[in-house]
Every structure is written in C-alpha cells, then in structure tokens.
Structure 1
Amino acid sequence: MQCHIVDTFVGGRYAGNPAAVVPVEQFPPVDLMQGMAHWIELPTTAFVVPTAPGEYRVRWFTPYKELNLCGHATIASACHLFRQPENAHHDRLRFVSDNGVLNAERVGELIAIDLPSARLTPAEPPAGLLEALGVEAVACAVSSDDVLVQVDDVDAVIATRPNFAALARLPFRGHIVTAQGTGDADFVSRTFFPSLGVDEDQVCVTAHAKLVPFWSARLGRRDLTALQLSQRGGRLVLQDAGDRVRVLGSAVPRHDVLHTEGLETIGSH
C-alpha cells in the first residue's frame, strides 16, 4: 500500500491541514488501518476503495480513533484521486461512508465538498468548560457532539490556552472557540479534540458545519470566509445552503509517498 500526503486549505501564510490518503482495493482489518494511522501520525488518514466510476467508499482514522466524518481528509482524497487517469474526465467524485455521502467537485483551483449542516442549541457553558479552555464566554451552544464558545474578539481566540487533559474529561467530541473576524475573514476559530488524540486540529471542516449556521444567522449572510487560527492556519470559503454547508479549499499534494509494506502486523494502539 502507498500513502499519499496532501495539505489542505493552504495559501499565503497558511500551511493548512495535512491528511494521508491510502487507496486500497478493499478495506484492511480495522486494527491494521488504525495502526497505520498511528504510524503515519497525521491528523487524519483516509482509506478509499473504488466502487464505481467516480465513486469511492471511505473511512477516516486519527492516530487513535476512527471518525464518523472528516472533511479535510475528504478534500485531500479528492485532490489525489482527481489526478489519477481514471478520473481525468470527472469533475465530481462521490464518497460513501457509513455516516452518509460527501460529494467533492473541482471549482477552478479549489475543491468543494458539501456536508450536513449541524444546528446548535444555545446553552449555558457546561461545568468546567470555560476553566478548561481558559476563556470568558460571550455565548455558548451545543450540538450532538461538539460544544461552541463565542469569545470577545480575534485576540481572545488566539490567546486561548486549553487544559487538554481537562477538556478530554468533558462529554464532548470537540471544543470550538470562535469570534467575529476582522477585514480578512468573517469569523475565526480554533478547534480542540483531545478525546480523539488531536489536541488542536489545524483546520476542521466538520466544525464549520456548526460555525457556518452560527455565524450566518448573526451576520445575515450565506456566503462567508473564515480563518482557522491554529499553528499552521487555514482559510476557508463557505456557503450556508440551508440543510447543507458547502466548503471550498485548496489542496496541494506533497511529492513524498510513504510505502507501508511491512506494517501488516501492526495492531491497534
């Protein structure tokens, strides 16, 4: 098996979020896929299996857990697969997972995917959350898996210094800190997933399935731009399409390819 590395949401001073793409004829055993993701040690590794022209089954793994959805690794997968001879005449690819279907398409030099919009319910900050994040909240809302905290401004997002061990003990998949942006973005965010083995995600697409409806309602616009203010950083172009969120981003393949022969004995970690 070969592993192809792609950087997504790069551009300017933003290095974006890397993902590994492993094309296979059929999914290996789960413990092998998990072990490979741990060995590759990128935020997410996507395994893709061709099922029909322009269609693939996909599964995503962090170094420690399988994910039910990952947007940036899907964009990375589309970037790699669009460059293969069998997809030379395809401008759209379909990725089928156990959690639904993601469609990816070429839009100029960008790749767009759409994913289900995740509406948030306003709530009081759960006990221990603000202390673990080290922030003061302007607003707080929860979804079925993540919690979002709005703070005063961009500087407050940058200054967030979470206690990851404390966050991992809270009953959420992820923790989103966000604020209205300045001239170069409508809003900014940082996202933390210590329970998944990813203390801070560099650019999290699934978090933007929550952030887009949150900020679209506040700003009164459906077309938005966003910056993720992680160490590598990333820029996203976004559209609120009602029950779907459309995310557009750049994707740049690296020239290095990892060969995974000899890893068949890896177990889960």
Structure 2
Amino acid sequence: MQAIDFWLVDAFSDRPFGGNAAAVCPLTDWLPDEVMLQMARQHNQSETAFLVRSDSGFELRWFTTHAEIDLCGHATLAAAHVIFEYLDWPDTSIRFSTRFVGELQVTRNGEWLTLDLPARDCRPETPPQALLQALGIDQARSVSKGKCWLVELSGREQVEALQPDFALMRQIGGLNKVCVTAADSEYDFVSRFFSPEVTMPEDPVTGSAHTMLIPWWGAKLGKTRMRARQVSERGGDLRCEWLEDRVKIGGQARTYMMGKVFL
C-alpha cells in the first residue's frame, strides 16, 4: 500500500471557507494519468494539483474531475502554499515546470504569494444572442473573446446580481467559459467566472481568467498595478500587475485539511 500526503487549501483567501479550494498532492514520482484523474474525482474539488520535486524546483500538473488542464492559477497558489508551509522549502520563490505553459514562478512576501503567469489577450467580438440570454441581460458594455468570453457590464451591482441559466449554457456550444467583469469604486475591477460543464458551474476565484482580465483592464484603465475582487459567494481578493507578456497575481491562502491518500 502506498501512502500519499495531501492538503486541501483555500486559495485567494485569508480565512477558511473563502477563496477557491484546491487539493494538493506532492508525489515522489508521477503516477499513471488515470490514477491521478481518479484521485481528482475522489477529492471532488474543481482542481487537484500534483507535483514532483525536480532539480530546479517542481514539476506541476493540474487535474479537474474530467481531465488534465493546461493552467490553473488557484491550484498553483495552493501548491506553493503547501511547499512553503510544509515541505521545508528554504527560498522565497518556487519555480514550477509545466507541460503546457512553460515555467511558472511563485514568490512569497509575508502572507502574500504572487504568481508569475503568461498574459493572455482577447479581442472584441459580436456575442451570440444566446450568451446574453443565458446571462439574463439585454445588453453589455462590451464583449470580447480569448480563452473565454469576456463580458463587461455596467457596474459591480449588475455583476453580483447575475443568475445565469446554466442549463441553457450547457445546451449551446461555445458558452462553456464566460467571465463577466465591471469597473468598481472600491477595487479597480470585479469579476465572476462561469463554466457550467464542470463540477462547479461558478468558479469562486479564477487565477487563469485574470491572465486575460489584467491586460484587458490595464489597457482600459491605463494602469499596470490594480486591485481586483472576484465577487462570487466565497469571494477573493487579488493584487494584480501587468508586465506586457506576463502578469503577476497576488493572493493569500489557508490550509483547511491535511491527510493521507492510501493507494
């Protein structure tokens, strides 16, 4: 029998039950992909991060309950939290090598962890009427398309009030990933992220979406440093910096559970 340590971490939160939860499993060597997928399904979180120590840092992979994915911000933050807090890591920065987005880095400054991720762009695009219908709105300030739909609304109240029709989003192709956002008086911008075809139709805090939001809002506001909040039910604060082809995303993390998996 093989025993594997695991942690459940609330990322982008300074308290339990906030932010976005991810399971983290450090491994000695890579397990078969099917076993890691089964573990992710058993954990039943939006993402599980698996990592293996390397000469330069760690190799990192992310699995949902459906498949391996190319990037997950909050699970990367959770993995870094585990390494800093429990794996006797001596430095203030960690380098992760990944299969799909190259090398990533996380640095620690007190309670805050900062992700260094590739920026993603998007371009204005005419939305299908079904998109606005599924969101329950008649119009949007602007709509763009990149790795997901990016829908700008009139303000924070409208973003918070949305009650999407997830059944309709599932029926219509191309509406699986939708980010809604607006400028705000307290933060530079707020957002929510919907992905109805996965375990949790609304993602509580989405680091990967901010790889697109940060350059988009940076250009719109003429800023390189911004404060953001994802206004889901759990919610989370993010410190954002735009560095042309890279973005930095800062957040806090809290351990909720630790234990062992027996295979």
> Is the shorter-chain TM-score for this pair beyond 0.5, marking a shared fold?
yes
1:226 aligned to which of 228, 245, 259: 228
Q: 1:85 to 1:31 in 2, by over 3 A?
A: closer
Are 2:70 and 1:68 aligned?
Answer: yes
Q: 1:45 to 1:18 in 2, by over 3 A?
A: same
Q: Deviations over 1:167-192 (max 9, x none)?
A: 23332552101111122x11100001
Where does structure 1 lack aligned partners over 5 or more consecutive residues? 263-269
Q: Deviations over 1:130-162 (max 9, x none)?
A: 11121231100001x211000111111011111
Alignment of 1:147-226 (within 5 A): 147-168=149-170, 169-171=172-174, 173-183=176-186, 185-226=187-228
CA distance in 1, matches of 2:261, 2:254: 22
CA distance in 1, matches of 2:204, 2:128: 25
CA distance in 1, matches of 2:58, 2:16: 33
Which letter does structure 2 place at the counterpart of 1:171? G
Is the CA contact 2:73–2:207 (under 8 Å) kept in the aligned structure 1?
A: yes
CA distance in 1, matches of 2:184, 2:173: 28
Are 2:9 and 1:6 aligned?
Answer: yes
Alignment-derived partner of residue 82 in structure 1:
84
Are 2:52 and 1:49 aligned?
Answer: yes
CA distance in 1, matches of 2:21, 2:215: 26
4+ residue stretches of structure 1 with deviation over 4 A? none
Structure 1 residue 14 displacement after superposition: 7.9
Alignment-derived partner of residue 267 in structure 1:
none
The count of corresponding residues between Structure 1 and Structure 2 is 257
Alignment of 1:12-31 (within 5 A): 15-31=18-34
Percent identity among equivalent residues? 35
Alignment-derived partner of residue 97 in structure 2:
96
- How does the TM-score come out when normalised to structure 2? 0.92
Q: Deviations over 1:102-154 (max 9, x none)?
A: 101112220001111111101111341111121231100001x2110001111
- How does the TM-score come out when normalised to structure 1? 0.90
Q: Residue 194 of structure 1: SS of its match in structure 2?
A: coil
Is the CA contact 1:188–1:228 (under 8 Å) kept in the aligned structure 2?
A: yes
Where does structure 2 lack aligned partners over 5 or more consecutive residues? none
Is the CA contact 1:158–1:229 (under 8 Å) kept in the aligned structure 2?
A: yes
Is the CA contact 1:121–1:142 (under 8 Å) kept in the aligned structure 2?
A: yes
CA distance in 2, matches of 1:224, 1:26: 39
Structure 1 residue 65 displacement after superposition: 2.4
Q: 1:85 to 1:131 in 2, by over 3 A?
A: closer
Structure 1 residue 95 displacement after superposition: 0.9
Q: 1:139 to 1:236 in 2, by over 3 A?
A: same
2:119 aligned to which of 117, 121, 128: 117
